[in-house]
Structure 1
Amino acid sequence: MKKANVLQTKPFPVNFFIHSLIIYWNTRRKNVKIILASASPRRKELLEQLGLTFLVFPAQGEEKQVGDTPSEIVMNLAKQKAGEIYEKMIEAKVGEQDSLVIGADTVVVKDGKVLGKPKNREDAFTMLKGLSGSTHEVYTGVSLWMRENGKKVQYSFYECTKVTMYPVTDEELNRYIDTGEPMDKAGAYGIQGKAAAFIEKIEGDYNNVVGLPIARIYQELKQLGIDVYKFS
């Protein structure tokens, strides 16, 4: 399996971004260049499963939750990320050929309340306590910004997965929080990590809960007439 071309870029000055992006464009021999606008190692790993060669450039702008529903919120957050990197590509005067920027964002929703990443230990405990012994939804929004024949094409969608947790004791929750795993994850847990022991069942795409619905992305790109395997 091919590994992604990863460049540690957080934080980075705009000039460094432009310089690095130009080098990337000039050294690629394929017609389509792909950028993942996310710092999430989990999204990087999931995208690698498709065998794609891509560059990771995390968006750095302040995230603003806009929308009346969880689906609108995650799609708008994904648009913000992809749009920021796309505009920097234009500033760098690269991407005149076919190109693709992928932005994504994930939230957990319990009883209509949107849960992002916990601010601190107490916040993580409160989130997990609320999820224990019940069912919640995980929404991931994806935004695809493409440069096709010199024109911008933008398409966004979302995926929703239902997750049911077993009842978890306060002691178990505190031990889990002690590992540090919850602190950078929406809803304060990672289904692919130690929190797997708490999961009773899921309804929908497992990878969506991890952070990127790669099967849906593949299908959406096909609908747009893009063959992802020509990128590899």
Structure 2
Amino acid sequence: MTTRVLIVEDDPDIADLIAGYLGKAGFTTERSASGREALQAIAARPPDLLVLDLMLPHVDGLEVCRVVRGNEATAAIPIIMLTARAEESERIAGLEIGADDYLAKPFSPNELVARVRALLRRTQRGTAAAIKTLAYGPIAVDTERHIVSSGGQDVTLTAKEFLLLEYLLRHRGRVLSRDLLLTDVWGYRYTGGTRTVDVHVRRLREKLPALADGIVTVKQFGYKLVEPAP
């Protein structure tokens, strides 16, 4: 799945620079030019990582970091903070509030990319260690070994079927648009059209009958995985 990085930077030239280097490195980037705009974007669709400038209009980077860390739904998002200030006190303040890493301007774009990769590696190792098995009624999904079983019987899925199943399980209860599923499961460069999502959902329903009723179709929009009936 494509990794999404939200760049929160009010200087368009710096935002362009960061987006360009991260895009070349294979990341999908989105941008916010103010703290207020960033908080709205994060609430609507939490990114995989946040590159956050300290000095922002309306709501500064420290407050954005504080709000993100204070919300259970976003608290685990990795955060790299950027600042034009070199004072140790500013760096300490950011780290104490919850930033994972800190980079002072002017910075090397290549170093920023390296720090993003390193932080994601650390985060993903921790997440994988914490949640290796996902369950849904009689369905068990071993995300480390890519094994799916239902009622104790192994079920064979294609690679994309497995990724779609894992994504639905990790985002149960949320309404997911077809475009979002294409972006996060197939990758943002996929141009096969949203029909492929419907085909893969149909295959999951056929292969995993215990999941069939739980995948609710949201008309003209997408899908939502609801909890199994008790």
Asked which structure has the greater RCO (Cα within 8 Å, sep 6+), the reply is 1
TM-score, scaled to structure 1: 0.26
Structure number with larger C-alpha Rg: 2
More helix by share: 2
